[in-house]
Structure 1
Amino acid sequence: MNTSLKLKKLAGISVIAFATMTAVNSASAANWRYAHEEYEGDVQDVYAYKFKEFIEENSDHTLQVFRFGELGESDDIMEQAQSGILNFVNQSPGFTGSLIPEAQIFFIPYLMPTDMDTVIKFFRESEAINEDFPKLYAEKGLELLKMYPEGEMVVTVDEPVTSPAEFDNKKIRVMTNPLLSETYNAFGATPTPLPWGDVYGALQTNMIQGQENPIFWIESAGLYEVSPNLVFTGHGWFTTASMANKKFYDGLSDEDKKLIQNAADYAFEEIITHIDGLADEALAKIQKASDKVTVTRLNEEQIELFRARAPQVEKKFIEMTGKSGEALLDQFRKDLAAVTE
């Protein structure tokens, strides 16, 4: 066979091989579905799109992201994730708490630190976060990929509040989370569970007198327009979690499992950078947009009045969760001590 014929034959084989390889890759590529609880540009949305970016740049898979309201509210997207309609879901323990009672630990006031460096170190190194919680989520058919913080919780109220006594007779919206209700009972308010879609209107009509959220969400959702008094109580950070349907995840190849874990790690690092300075930026936007806004930052003496009521919330948490919750709380405290020493 002459050289020219050999080259033509090799070229033909290469084309066939390439076509075969492409067909295999195409057959193994999938379009995955991911839903979260927030609006375009909010923290969960940024995380989701960083996750998507990594998946699509490092595989033939594609990822379709659904924002708040596109597939329903938080309870709806969790049901869809558990049933396998969604492959991935991002949901805060505020809603997951009804499914996984131990997840309500994030709503024990004054358990978590408020400075960002310590919070980030805790999420990176905590045994409770990285070892205990994945087991709890797995029991409910969920593969926990990453827990991450979004921002310090801020309360908006119809008038400035500096003590539990000033919360008296005020209805404060809470997520459908029994422990969060206990927190506001302890703080002297009347907790009022409401789905997110009803909150703005309820504040506007004085059906409720306040709510809590990270400051970026207060700005993004325009809550300051109908609830203009911002109170920094220092009682905790808003935490959320990305997860996969466990049956879907367990059925993946080792390569795809590694891809997903790497994507979750990548998105975590990106979101930590994103939230640095986000609260100050959001507050500046709020103050520029409205001259009715007031900002109250509780001093240590005022905070102590609220902190003194935290033990009754801890007691309620242990009543709800039993020995597993008590063990988790002990581990939380050990982990927090390790990162604050």
Structure 2
Amino acid sequence: MTTTKKYWTGGVAAIALMAAGTSSAVADTWRYAFEEALDEVQGVFAQKFKEEVEANSDHEIQLFPYGTLGESADIMEQTQDGILQFVDQSPGFTGALIPEAQVFFVPYLLPKDQEALNAFFRNSVAINEMFPELYAEQGLELLTMFPEGEVCMTTKGPVASPADLNEVKFRVMTNPLLVESYKAFGATPTPLAWGEVYGGLQTNIIQGQENPMFFIESTKMYEVTDYITCAGHNNFTTAVMANSDFFAGLSPEDQAMIQAAIDAAFDHILEYQQGLHQESIDKVMAAKPDMTVTVLTDEQRQPFMDSAASVEAAFIDMTGDSGKAILDQMKADLAAVAN
């Protein structure tokens, strides 16, 4: 996800950053890249984290919104190499490294109820105990995961059933399970870098895409589509990570300070998102009054929900016993917050 058209190659960005400081393990200036603009959800989280770190230590946080250091793959590579100390990246892009993280794209797995959703992200055994081990295998210290908002579809034609997505070229992230999800929904999934989405919709190379409402509004996806459909199928999830070697080299005091800053930013971002979905719809309608926004009824959602079983099966095929264990634990975690 992005709102900017500025791109650097990973190599140029790496050289620039390496010139900016010394070893990440001893640097007083820490670098944090994310996939959105400063005024979007990941940027708001990052700014709160920066505020907390700088208020409670002598360290400085430099923030790099999406596009300033390249694409998602670039900032992940830079974090694994220790050029960046922190990165915020959706499992949608991390899925190639950590296939089990694709579990967040199983349709209708996460609850729509905001309190239940927030409680799940706070207390989930899968998130807090199982995923950190998987991220560690890739040189990453998983600090937190948090939801960014209900995902809605923007399309050129109305969508009330999977039949309406037949032959629709629908942009998805480069994520195998998301491809399977939209196949199950009846569309023709088309993996595409975010920087190409607006132009792709404008020229009809693709006819649809999905994102949280705040992002649909801020990136002006409504300018090149005519229908927004909220089917309740997912809530966009993201993860904040640190380079493992960097984090392990910190003093216990700095590690505790970072975790406290993460916790404060987590609380802040959940509060920030209250009402954001509807506010974003209101802004879209003010900017384009003839836009059609539809929230599917339970009856209309059922055919989409029926596809979840096939996507779950595809997830287990991709990830084996490890993925099944994650999925089973997540279902247990979700059942716990539903009671």
TM-score scaled by structure 2?
A: 0.92
Q: State the secondary structure of the residue aligned to 1:162.
A: coil
1:155–1:232 Cα contact (<8 Å) kept: yes
1:165-176 correspondence runs (5 A): 165-176=163-174
Cα distance, 1:29 vs. partner? 6.5
Distance in 2 between the 1:150 and 1:331 partners?
Answer: 22
Of 296, 299, 305, 1:298 maps to: 296
1:81–1:88 Cα contact (<8 Å) kept: yes
Of 288, 306, 309, 1:308 maps to: 306
Distance in 1 between the 2:308 and 2:284 partners?
Answer: 30
Q: CA RMSD in A?
A: 0.8
Q: State the secondary structure of the residue aligned to 1:113.
A: coil
1:81–1:87 Cα contact (<8 Å) kept: yes
- CA deviation vs aligned residue, 1:267-326 (integer Å, no higher than 9, x gap): 000101101111111111000000231011111111111111111100000001000000
Residue of structure 2 in register with 1:150 after alignment: 148
Q: Which has the higher helix share?
A: 1
Of 286, 289, 292, 1:288 maps to: 286
Of 255, 258, 261, 2:256 maps to: 258
Residue of structure 2 in register with 1:7 after alignment: none
Of 236, 240, 243, 1:242 maps to: 240
Of 60, 63, 67, 2:61 maps to: 63
The answer on 1:226 being equivalent to 2:227 is no
Cα distance, 1:185 vs. partner? 0.2
Q: State the secondary structure of the residue aligned to 2:222.
A: helix
Question: Runs of 4+ in structure 1 displaced over 4 angstroms?
Answer: none
Of 158, 161, 170, 1:160 maps to: 158
Distance in 2 between the 1:241 and 1:309 partners?
Answer: 26
Distance in 1 between the 2:28 and 2:38 partners?
Answer: 24
Distance in 2 between the 1:154 and 1:123 partners?
Answer: 21
Q: Mind listing any 5+ residue stretches in structure 2 that lack a counterpart?
A: 1-25
Residue of structure 2 in register with 1:121 after alignment: 119
Cα distance, 1:160 vs. partner? 1.2
Cα distance, 1:115 vs. partner? 1.7
Q: Mind listing any 5+ residue stretches in structure 1 that lack a counterpart?
A: 1-27
1:90-129 correspondence runs (5 A): 90-129=88-127
TM-score scaled by structure 1?
A: 0.91
- CA deviation vs aligned residue, 1:30-78 (integer Å, no higher than 9, x gap): 0000000001200000000100000100000000000010001111100
Please say which structure displays the higher CA radius of gyration: 1
Q: State the secondary structure of the residue aligned to 1:153.
A: strand
Q: Percent identity?
A: 59
- Number of aligned residue pairs: give it: 314
Distance in 2 between the 1:29 and 1:290 partners?
Answer: 47
- CA deviation vs aligned residue, 1:174-216 (integer Å, no higher than 9, x gap): 0000000000000000000001100000011110000000000
Residue of structure 2 in register with 1:14 after alignment: none
Distance in 2 between the 1:228 and 1:106 partners?
Answer: 27
